[in-house]
Chain A
Amino acid sequence: MIRVGSFLLVVLVGHNLAAQTPKRQFDTKIAPLLASRCLECHSGPEPKGGLDLSNRERAIAGGENGVSIVARKPDESPLWKRIEADEMPPKHPLPKSEKEMLRKWIAEGAVWGTSTIDPFQFTSDSRGGYDWWSLQPLQEIAPPKVKQTEWLRSDLDNFILHQLERNELTPSQPADPRALVRRLYFDLLGLPPAPEVIDTFVNDPSDAAYDKLVNDLLESPHYGERWGRHWLDVARYGESDGFERNNVRKNIWHYRDWVIKALNDDMPYDEFVRKQLAGDIVENGKDGAAAVGFLVAGVHNTVVGGSKRMKLLARQDELEEVIGAVGQTFLGLTVNCARCHDHKFDPIRMEEYYSMIAAIDGVNHGEREIPRPEIAPLLADASENLKDLNAKLNKTDITARAKILEERKKNAGATPKPDRPQPYVSWEFEGDLKDSIGKLHGKAVGNARVENGALVVDGASFVETGPLDKDLAEKTLEAWVLLDNLEQRGGGCITVQTMNGGVFDAIVFGEREPKRWMAGSNGFVRTKSFAGTEEAKAAAEPVHFAIVYREDGTITGYRNGLQYGSPYKTGFQRFKAGESQMLFGLRHKPANGNHFLTGRILRASLYDRALTPEAVAASAGVESSFISEKVLIASLSEEERQQRADLRAKIDAATKRLAELDAQAKEKVYTVAAGKPGAMRVHIRGSVTDYGDEVAPGAVNAIAGVEGSFGLAKDAADADRRRKLAEWITHESNPLFARVIVNRVWHYHFGTGLVDTPNDLGFNGGRPSHPELIDWLANQLTANDYRLKALHRLIVTSATYRQSSAMNQAAPAKDAGNRLLWRYAPRRIEAEVLRDAMLQVAGVLNPKRGGEGFEDVKIVPNNGTTYYEPFDPEGEAFNRRTVYRFTPRGGRSAVLDSFDCPDPSSAAPRRSVTTTPLQALSLLNNSFVLRMADHFASRVEKEAGKDTVSQVERAWQVSLGRRPNDNEKQLSAELVSKHGLASLCRALFNSNEFVVIQ
């Protein structure tokens, strides 16, 4: 391996050591040594042994054992003696060179520099400081001068060639056109080129033809699928929760689709990032919600222990997971390493970590229902239609009803009156707010009062009871109400709610639809339109309204004892004794907005069961006029009966249609459930029981060009926090932002980044092989409005990219890892590309884009835990590109797994590339591969006919992009004639040429 570090030395250590003053020497040499070796114990409010070495005065004063440093006399200085004896630092004695440096410092007078020591001031051998290369502003660097100018195609090449020439290496010749097209296809689309495409380019390998090809590929929708997959690796995108339960995360794929589309649309990278951090804040609807899927794409612990400590710890783990992803993905900073102590390697303080945690403290895992705009008008039509039909039915029934009632009058007394049903509790409002069971007495809030046997509420007052003494499952709410006016919107007559109003069911007037009754509920989760008639009378005379809630989710409304519109089915809510209460005149707590009713409530009741239509009628006092549907139908003539049945059928169909549209009206998206951030304090040593100072939302201060402070109050809202965080990260003066993405893009084009740790540009990460090139590329990116496609174009049209992958026997001795890019490094294609390429070559790739993923694992729920068992399903639906595979955590798929497809339990900014016998076995024997070989054979047979030689030629062209040579042709023909075409196809899938890009 080359010593990349030596290239850097010049950049990193620009100081002339000889010219340093003793003070400067202390700052650059001794202070970092003390900081990295001693200050962890010997600083802070309670330094070990009372000895504080971070500050000049205190260090000189010494500790519990007296003076520690005697200037000019190391041998009399306890500090030196204990270090020399390897007693200090405990367990990790200092290397000789550092010992010598300390001794010399004391001997020369122990001159102190800056006091107190800021351990982050300078980069040392063991950690990075504020002067760390990646934290410095972007440099405007002109392409360096080089000798072999004829090799150059772009300014980019100067940087590469410059380093090669300095190391006496020569770049490679251009790749042959065939290899180049294949490389470009795999790189940009993740698919092999069709033989015809290759031939076209081979026949005209001009720069113009190449540029056109590049442009065409960048415009292909497959581009977003290929590069989206890269991004999903970084975003630790997985479709289950991980941890113990590992439940399916059905609706996170919206994020995957959003990423693919954004890349295909060439959304500027800064916008791409801002939306992933705060898209839901700036943009309503699905796109914003899908984009912030990034924040919650990682694992989520849904089994949190019962104790408060466990809950707090789990929340901190969750936040660390998110901020770790944010820091590493966008800035190449491992901020998550500063959770329990200041960062050991980069200049990031613990306080800054908690400021960043505060910035995302409003982020929670969750799901949102997003209206589909295209469904809304259809839904309105269907609702109108149902209303019309209900009105029609009403009209025909009125006549029949009148007739029956007329009959009944004649036979008065013949039918016994049914008993009024017994409520569980009832409020008569006769003189007081007391109830019938003597426990749920009402209490007036505001001007609510009882007058003439009615509760009077004035649009600003209400009555509430104490907690229910009984769990409620099925129930009926009813009230006799006289409204002040019919124009009011949203007041509640009778409500059962949890004590804070978070969950409720209520009889509500005019909220969603003017002048109509509805079953109100929290967030409308159990509310749909009854599609009943408009209220005309309730302001003139009392109306009885009742709502029956059944356990199967059916909710039925009754007005004056008759069914109101159509019942519907929805979720079912239970209310717990002790945690629920009743309200009158208020839809739900809190008491504000349009929650109030204006009018009189004459009586109200709660039943702990679902009343029958007959019982509702009896309670409404209309039992004498109650007519069951059965009786009504019996009274009709045959023709009327038929007409009514037809109308009924239409109503049923319309109800069904409405329910269907209702189900489609909203789309579930797994996304950020924004919450209210709490006060954030430093957690000492990461503990959730030991707190330090409170911090305001903010970020890291060590990056030149951007302020760590957000200027936000400590109690700022989630939206402000995340907006500021997004601004800070994507700020044009934040040098890490552009450096990280150009390095990442480079990494995917060449197999290795200019920094070989794409998620870490800090001290612990790799050193840049071409630091100036990173800055030059970063400047190009910003100059091109952060368009990634422009960056791709710049890279793939360069001579560096277009050079041959042929081995240069002399080069490895100087640069075995090809970090200087003396050739294009050949590499094995990734697992997904391999699968996609087989599908493509077999002629069965299903190009369907987006939507729910295909499942090649069986989802086996077992007592709350979900298991994923891989299997090999057949059919077109499964022949889609692998990026559309349902990817649960721990859901291993044989071929993908053995070819290093990472489990999404953590981010995979750089995949490992292994070659193992198990890989060979998978590719030879797996049922998917064998099936694809069969399809491939059928395809070739179809295209090349029965002639073996033609078949052989076609098979080679389709899979490897070239004609076989004579020897290959002969070997292939032998194999085909002996074992059939599919055997050749299987072998070609296994060939090195198929799985290696050159």
Chain B
Amino acid sequence: MIYEFFYNLIGSEIIAGFIAASLPLLIFILPFALVAVLLERKVAGHMQDRLGPMRVGYHGILQTIADIIKLLQKEDIIARENDKILFNIAPVLVFTGSYAAFAAIPFTSAYIGANIDLGIFYIIAVTGLVVAGILMAGWASNNKYSLLGAMRSAAQIVSYEIPTILVVLTLVMFTGTTNLMTLSENQTAYFWNWNILGGPEFSLAKILLIPFMIISFFIIYISTLAEVNRTPFDIPEAESELVSGYHTEYSGMKFAMFFLAEYANMFAVSAIVSALFFGGYHSPFGYLGNTLGIEWLIPVEQFFWFTFKGVFFVFVQMWLRWTLPRLRVDQLMTASWKYLIPIAFVNLLIVGIITLL
């Protein structure tokens, strides 16, 4: 455990916990964002039958680094009519919200930032900071497109939080824990033990549960897609109507912070979906470390599978972006309130009844 390592090193549990919880930024979020931005552009390119970035490095591998250097050099523009204080706080708040979520995500069985008992609810709670930050950015920009984008984004996130929470509730009821670490641990090392296939216990209920678990998965995937403002739910940024939504007025590093937060969020929701339904960090086929008897290999493998599952769902998000058209505002609200929430409710009841059987 990394927390114990720091605890032995420093001797203060508060500082050790603090360091352990803030590690994902360096070891994960920044490298991931580097890869994901390039991946997004490459996926976009290849899906549209073009090549994407090709000039910087072999097949454009260094493109993101060049972009970062460009963003660092850019002038930090604050327009005269902007609300200066709020304008400067907003990107920090948005980034803090998405970064804080990583503290409760189990990366391997050996590392979780903070093994809190209410992991999944903590993540839902800190997402509130993102919404507040987005509203702040939109309002402080003093620009009608920014404000409209922020309003749409906040309304969308708040609406789609309900089906997300209902599905999370279904899973909490089924597994009896809100701790993401325990949740992942329970779905032991083979893919037929995953929650999407009815959990680790073999019984009639497991087979009955499979269709409802698949429904739950689709609901939570759709609603998390809306929560991170990805297509088909990207009306907050709808380029053709709103320039680029709430971050229209931002430039340089502040824009980069919004961008980083967006990619961090994409991975966070993918990681949550995989922890809830697809075994978290567990390998689908058992561990090489177990067969060979090498103990330190297991966390490495787990980290690989965790990243693989997360990046796979991020890839599906990108794939959908170039496949589906954007929804209208009314369609967006219809999808959440009239379809996802009732289905999630019924699903919750059915899973509850089957679990009681």
Partners in one complex: no
Which A residues are within 8 Å of any B CB, using their own CB?
A: none
Which B residues are within 8 Å of any A CB, using their own CB?
A: none
